[in-house]
Amino acid sequence: MMSAVHLATRALRVLSAACLLVCGIGCATSTATAPAAAGRVTVGVTTTGPRVESMEFAVAIEPAGRGGRIKADAGVFSAPDLPAGDYIVRLDDMPDRCRVKGGVERKISVSPRRSASVRFDVICN
């Protein structure tokens, strides 16, 4: 037979575990919201030359640490929810037979609640 103290301790443990479970579920299903002053960067690529249909490049947005892959033939990459500020957008993984008009980096400024766009024109031989 259990004493009243043991029963109370056991009930407290069960109640604590239930509270942690409910709080954990609530946190896991909450949605992240964008900062109030967030903007968006859209990157476009147009590539001309032979065999560009299957090519992809890497795009990086620094110092935000955002990036991904973009199709070489009329590809678009979008990075939402970026804090307002200045960024460098860079195109990487460029084959030796290709070059970017104006270079592989662009400076861009993101304003609060606005979209900023940058375009890269790539020529491949």
Write the pLDDT tens digit of every residue in 67-93. Answer: 999 999 889 999 999 999 999 999 999
Contacts of 38 (CB under 8 A, 6+ apart): 80, 81, 82, 83, 84, 112, 113
- What integer is the mean pLDDT of 92-106? 96
| 79 bridge partner residues | 41
Average pLDDT over residues 88-117: 95
Domain ranges of the chain: 1-30, 38-124
CATH superfamily for domain 38-124:
Immunoglobulins (2.60.40.10)
Residue 68, Cβ neighbours under 10 Å: how many?
A: 13
Order across the sheet with 56-62: list the strands: 66-71, 56-62, 85-92, 105-110
pTM: 0.69
The model's confidence at residue 65, banded by pLDDT at 50, 70 and 90, is very high
3-state helix, strand, coil in the chain (%, to 5): 20, 50, 30
Lowest mean pLDDT among 13-22, 61-70, 105-114: 13-22
Can you give the pLDDT at residue 10?
60
**Per-residue pLDDT at 2:** 54
Report yes or no: 76 and 41 within 8 Å, Cβ to Cβ: no
Q: Give the containing element (helix H, strand E) for 107.
A: strand 105-110
Q: How far apart are CA 84 and CA 36, in angstroms?
A: 10
